[in-house]
Each structure stands twice: as C-alpha cells, then as structure tokens.
Amino acid sequence: MERDFFDEFKTKSAKGQKGALVMIIALIAIIAIIALNPFVTIGAGERGVVMNFGAVQPVVLDEGLHFIIPFVQKVVKVDVKVQKSQTDADASSRDLQEVSSTIALNYHIVPDKANLVYQQIGVYFKDRIIDPAVQEVSKAVTANYTAEELITKRPAVSSEMKSNLTERLIAHNIAVDEFSIVSFSFTKLFMEAIESKQTAEQLALKAKRDLDRIKIEAEQKITSAKAEAEALRLQKENISGDLVKLRQIEAAIMAIDKWNGVLPKVTSGAVPFIDVKSFE
C-alpha cells in the first residue's frame, strides 16, 4: 500500500518537473525572440532594402510587418514618398547672356527599384544625382534660346527642361512628378535694355493708335462732307421755277399775316412792296 503511494507520488513529481521544463524552455524562446528581434515593420511611404551579410538582395519589402533572419539579414528603410528639391543653376543663353535660374523639382524613388537606388547611389542621391542633372539640363536647354525668348517662351523652356530631366533621372530610378522654374535672373545691363525696349514699344504702339484714330476721324469728316455735298447737289437739282414762286408766295403770306394795315409814320427806308400779281 505504501509502495503504491510512493509510486504515484513519484509519477506526479516527474510530470510536474516535465511541465516546468517545458515552461522554462518556452520562456527562454520568447526572451530569445524578443532579444533577436526577427521582425521588421515598414511604414507608409517606405520600402525595405534587404541585405544578407551586407549584400543587397533583389527583394524589396513593401509596407507592413516582415520576418527576417537574425544575424544574417538586415533591412534598410528607404523613403519613396514625393520629395522636394530646389537647385540654383547658372547658364548662358544663345545670345551669350548670363542667366541665373532657380529650379524647383518634386520627385520620388521608383518604389520597386529602391534596392537599386540604395545599392548604386545610396541615400544622398540629391547631391549626387539630382542637383548635377538639374544644372546640366539647365545649361543645355538655356543655350537653345535667346535671353528674351527665355522670358517670352517660358512655358516651352520649362517643358523642354522637364522632359530632359525626366529622361536623365529615370535612368537612375528616380521619377519626376513636378517641375517648375521659380525664377530667371539676368545681368543689370540686360534688364535695363529690356525695359528700354518695352518702353519704346509702348510709345510706338501709342503713336500707332493715335495715328489710327486721326485717320478714322479724318475719314469720318470726309464722309460727312461728301454726304453734305451730295445733299446740296440733290437739293439744287430739285429747285425749279415753280418751287421758287411757291417760296415767294409763302414769304408774302407771312408778311401779310404780320402786317396790321397801318403804314409807319416814320420810315428809314422804303415800305415793303407786296406784289399782288404774284398771287395769281
């Protein structure tokens, strides 16, 4: 009886030790996992570049939680959101005028090529790739236009620069989103020449408008005089002997209507004579 109790106690003790060992092993595994940190989180607007013992791998990690092999793999996070760059560039126009420009650029790394950008360029791609490309494109395009055309044809200049820059940067897996020329600046002497030319053009335009106005007014006067002359000519053609006699009769009637039948006592001249026969 005592022997059965001892055997049962021994069995329970063995089971308890085994359970405790399992718990200890599980706890050690959890601590090891936490210490080794085999998970990596890629945030919004980022991509993960995986490296095995420092060698960049073809795989690019998307946003989210990912498992990596501790001590073997390392993940570098690369920002693929749209970024802004502003670069100053000096160039010469086709007519050899010095031109200083400020170029603003919105760009982003092609997400699925983030590993190649990191491998070939690194994280300082603005200084190494973007700024030199902007300056080179600015020089090449500016040389195709005169200084005056850079002002009057600014949209065309901007479009050509954007096209050339897009082609250059996409070769390095960098995409251009927006491009704009913030400012063009020229030498003081050239700006004074431009202002003088604009003033002269404005004065010439005003003189032309004044001349056009004078011509129109002269033409209007000529037309009016021609119309009056034509009216007089038509009236002269329509005057006949009967019309003259009718006007004389009308004048005599008006005189009779105004006369009160009394001859003036003092006159300074002849008494008006009314030809009664003219009424016949």
Average pLDDT taken over every residue of the chain = 79
265/153: higher pLDDT: 153
Least trusted range by pLDDT, from 130-139, 204-213, 237-246? 237-246
Angle at 246 between CA 226 and CA 234, to 5 degrees: 15
What Cα–Cα distance (Å) separates residue 61 from each residue in 2, 112, 123? 66, 9, 17
- What pLDDT, on a 0 to 100 scale, did the predictor assign at position 30? 60
- Tally of CA atoms within 13 A in the half-sphere of 132 that contains its CB: 7
Average pLDDT over residues 46-63: 92
Average pLDDT over residues 29-52: 79
176/212: higher pLDDT: 176
279, pLDDT greater than 50? no
203, pLDDT greater than 60? yes
Average pLDDT over residues 66-75: 88
2/77: higher pLDDT: 77
Tokens found for residue 75: 């993940």
Strand 83-92 vs strand 98-109: parallel, antiparallel, or unpaired?
antiparallel
- pLDDT class for 102, splitting at 50, 70, 90? very high
Above pLDDT 70, what percent of the chain? 70
Classify domain 83-186 at the CATH class level: alpha beta
Average pLDDT over residues 247-251: 71
117, pLDDT greater than 50? yes
- What pLDDT, on a 0 to 100 scale, did the predictor assign at position 42? 93
Outline where the chain has alpha helix (H).
2-36, 114-120, 125, 131-142, 147-152, 154-170, 188-238, 241-258
The pTM of the full predicted model, rounded to 2 decimals, is 0.58
59, pLDDT greater than 70? yes
114, pLDDT greater than 90? yes
199, pLDDT greater than 50? yes
